Every structure is written in structure tokens, then in C-alpha cells.
Structure 1
Amino acid sequence: MVPWPHRMPRIGTFGKGLPRSSEGTTFDLGCSEVLAVRARTAKTHRGTVLADPVGMYLDDISGDQLLTAEEEVALAQTMERGRSALSRLELETDLDPPERRHLKSLVHLGEEAKMTFIRSNLRLVISIAKRYGGRGMDMLDLIQEGNLGLIRAVEKFDWRKGFKFSTYATWWIRQAITRGVGNQGRTIRLPVHMVDIVRTVQEVQQSLLERFQRPPTIEEISAASGVDVEHVELALSAPRETISLDQPIGDDGALELVDLVEDANDNDPFLDADRVLRDRDLLSAISFLDPTEKEIIVRRFGLDGEAPQTLTNIAAALDLTRERVRKTEAKAIAKLRHPSCPVNLVSLV
């Protein structure tokens, strides 16, 4: 989903003939801009539904002109007057009706100025979002994250410092997109601060691989990227992108990836049958041992089909000491190895 701000009046309609108010506390429009910057997934243009959402979005914002430095200052001042007016409305309860109406008009103009500021810079978001393509998020989602950063930049912009807004907003937009990629771009989430490090390390690794015609060492990647060795190791061990086991394979899609993945737990039935027969023969072969010796050997080597047990576990099960179990096991094995043993165990192992 992509934020689609309502079209607002151009800058010429803001702030004309309105007295400047003193600085007030910062105000937050709450979710009003989020409602205004609403998401649309389809739009009819001259009776035809546009199939490309990105193209549809570009078509919608193409009429918004870029702001000049003077217009940016004028909008910021209008927003500032709106913040001061809202602060007075919230704090002063004894305002007369004309003054209250005047303050409400300033708040409304501040909201409109903010929306115009946002809409006039939506193309800046797109230009930055393009750099983050192919990182696990759709372009529309990248644009939406960037638009949230743009809203924050508009709220924090200080026109008195003399900076061009696009220079200031770029940092907020990039931060919002980076956080979005870190939180949503991977099935296995990475910490936000590691996302850029992983990207840098992987790009440097590929560049050095092409240059050296061999895999670069961790030290070489660290030197070329400026990332310390410890973080390079963490970045290289970060989980790669996941793919679905249901992904079709081949042109006809007749197979899925899961059909080609070996099931390590799916044992060969012939080997299973052979193991069952061997264990049965071994149980028969050790039948000459006394009951305690036989029980210990069966448990110790898993001849009953269960997992082999430790001396401690066997001792607890038989209510014996661990040393007693060890000595009994050694005694039973000695009997099985003795030449007088009635069964040739070598043929059964």
C-alpha cells in the first residue's frame, strides 16, 4: 500500500493577510496526515484501470511542482503559526469567539501548508527509494516507508537554519526506508543497525571477488569497506534471503522446490529392515548373559530400538550405582569377547 496525499491548494493560498504569531510548542496533527496520505491500490484514469501501481502513483503526483527556497520558508512559517495557534487553543480557555475562530483558521492553514510541503516532495522519496530496490521489499512499500520519513522531516524542519529542505529531508527519508527494510525486508529479521553493514560488506565482497578472481579474506573486506573485522564476520554470517519450498521449478511449473529437497529423516526402508533384523539377532546372541548384564547391554547400545543410554541414566533406571553399572557392562563385554562365547558376534556387527 502506498500513501496518496490529498491534493492541497498551492502555496499562494497560505498565510496571506494573517498576522504572525509568536513561537509556540510543537504540535502533532496526530493521524490526520496519515488519513490524508491514504493508500490506494487502484485508480480509474479516463475510464481505464491502471495496471501498474507505481506508474499510477507517479501519475497522481506528477502535477505537484517543486518548491522554491522562498516557498519552503513561507510554508514552514505558516506551519509554525498553526502550531502556536493550536497551543493557544489547548492552553487558553478564556478566548473570545472571534479570537478562537481566528486561531482555528491558522491551525487549518498550518495543516494545509504541511500537506502541500509533503506533496511537493513526494518525488524526492521515489528517487531515494529506487536505491533500495531488490532488498526484500516491493517498491510501493519502500515508497510508503520513505513517505513516513518525509512527514517526520516536514514536522522537524527549521527554516531559520537556512538549509534547503531536500538536503535535510534526505536523511529522514533514508532512515525510514532503512528501518523498513530491516524490519520487513527479511523473513529472518536483522537488527536495523546491521542492515547497512551487511549491504556494504556484501557489495565490497562481490567487488573484491571480481578484482582478485578469488574469494577475498575477511581482513581484505574489512580494509576495503572500513568495517571492523568483527562486524564483517557478523555480516558474512547473516542469514541470506529465504525462498519458498512451494516455489515452482522449471518452465512448466510441474515440480516444486520441495520435490527436490532430500528428507534427511526419510530412511531407506531396506536399511531399516536390516537394522531391525540385526538387533533381533544380537538380542538372541546375548541371551546367555545373566538378566542384569543383558539389560545393561541392551540399554547401553540401544538394542531395543531406543536411543543408547548413558551409565547415569541406566543406573537410575535399574536403581544401581553408576560404578556398579560400569563394572557390569565391562564384565558382560568381556564375556562376549571371550573365545568360549557361543555366538560369533563379528558376523552380526
Structure 2
Amino acid sequence: MSDQKTLQINAELDEQEYTRAGSYESRKKLYRQLRGLLGGKGAGPLARAASGNNAAAIRDSLRLYLNAINTVDLLTAQQEVELAKRIEAGDEDARAHMIEANLRLVVSIAKRYAEGGLSLTDLIQEGNIGLMQAVQKFDYRRGYKFSTYATWWIRQAITRALSNDSRTIRLPVHVIEALRNIRKIRPRLAAELGREPTPGEIGAELNLTAERVTQIVEAGRTIVSLDAALGDDGEDTILDQVADDHAPSPDEEFMRAQGYSVLRSALGELDERERDVLQLRYGLNGTKTSSLDEIGRKWGVTRERVRQIQRSAEEKIRNSSVADYHEVIAS
């Protein structure tokens, strides 16, 4: 963890603002605990442990940190709204309270990435920065829980740190991005073609030559750490999780996810065939995404007819009574 980022955390939680009139003495004590653990101008035990190899020191520092944040009660939905209103009005004490109450969320998310190359202490500190951004941008008027919204910002902060960590990623970021795109597009092409796509076919989709596609794939195979499993289930890899500079922002991704939730509800207004076409095209309700040809074979119609059904269904949803539809299927 760089001194600059450590200082950023402490600047965000300035003690004078944090302990202003009206704050509880217990909050002042907690602030000092957290500041000491995270490290300030002189690195605290959490920061020192992160930069060293003393396993016992790391465990002790994490234990102290977790004990400190566990003293803060979780917020109810009503409390979140009340704090958000105060934050919007410039109340820094409310802002600090919102951050405190969600530090455990950061730890929970950080643990998922503990095998990605960064220490858990580094991941927690990166996640805390994402949490602070979420607090700043949260809009209580939309009606969703803060923890749901904050998760997107915390994950982005952590994955971006992983992608920039030289101990884990040993390829240029643009190559990592290209490799990710190749891995994303290959299954779709295989489904449409009914066979494994050639480097040339993949390259045509990504504006790359066949030779370049082959070079990128080979480069990825030489970096074992890119395929290291993350989490207990082992399903995600570092490459799957690293941040994409051209990807939507956490705000955009969050609203897209909320839109999918609305879309699933709206499917009830469609007939069976329209509903099935959309579910298969967008992978809703646990289904795999399918090509127009695959859906056409299932329903005994041409791919063009499937396209017409899809557009008709999308138009019905756009004109339906379902509120706050976020144009998830705009295409």
C-alpha cells in the first residue's frame, strides 16, 4: 500500500471533522483505533504488517482491526436514508458514520480476492477507498440499499489494484484487456459456428489479425498467476476479475444490474415465446445466452423471425407499466 493511498484514507477521515460537536466519545476512540491500524504519517501496524513478511504481525493487526470495526452497529434502511440526507447537506460526521458502519462489508468482499496476489490488508485498504467513493455518490432517492450499491465500488477498487499489482500481472494492461476480450468472445462464436472459432474469426470480431490473436493467447498461457483461482469456489480467476479501463463505471454496472431485475419482473407481461426468446438471448433466470440460430431451431422459425420476436418483446417492455426501466436491452 503506497503512502499516498494511506494518507488519502486518513485525509478522508480527518479527525477534527470526524470528532466534531455532536459526535460520541466512543466514535472518537474508534477513529483513533482505525487510524492507528491503517497507518497515518507514521505507518500503523496494519500498514506495517502489509509491507512485511511477519505472519503473526499480520494476524494480530487484522484481529485488532476486525475487533474495532465490529463495535459499530449495522445500519437499518431508514438510518441509511437519514445519513444520506445529512451527507448530501454536507454533514461530515454522518459521512464518517456511514463509512464506519460498512467497513465489515469491505472485509467480506476483500476476502474473496485474498488469493489474487495482494495481501488481505492491502485489499481491505483498497476496498475502503472504494467504499468512500460509494458514500460520496450514493443517491438514496433510487430506493436501493447502500450495501448493494457500495459493493460495486468496493469491487472495482480491489480489482483495479489487482490489475495494477506487478506481483500478479506481468503483462501490459492493454494485453490483459485483449486477452479478456478473446476469452469473452470465444464461447459466443463457438455457439454461433457450432465449432471452435479460428484465430482469424476471433480477430475479425476484435479488429485484430489472426497472428496477433495467437500471440496474445500464447502470452496469457505463460502467466500462470493470471489463471489463479479466486475464492473458495474456484470459479473466478484473476483475469476474470481485473479492472477493465473501458468497462462501465460502477454506477453504470449497478444500474444495469438493477435494470435486469426490473426486466425479469417485466417478462410476466409477455407471451410464452417472447419470454423464452428474451430469456435465451440475455441469459436471464439462469439460462445460457443463445444465438438467433439456436433459438430459431428450438421454435422452428428462421433467425430473422427470432430477431423480429425479440424486438417486438423489447418494445412491449419499453411501453409497459413497469417503472424505472433502465434500457437494459437497448440495442
Give the structure-1-normalised TM-score. Answer: 0.40
| Larger proportion of helix | 2
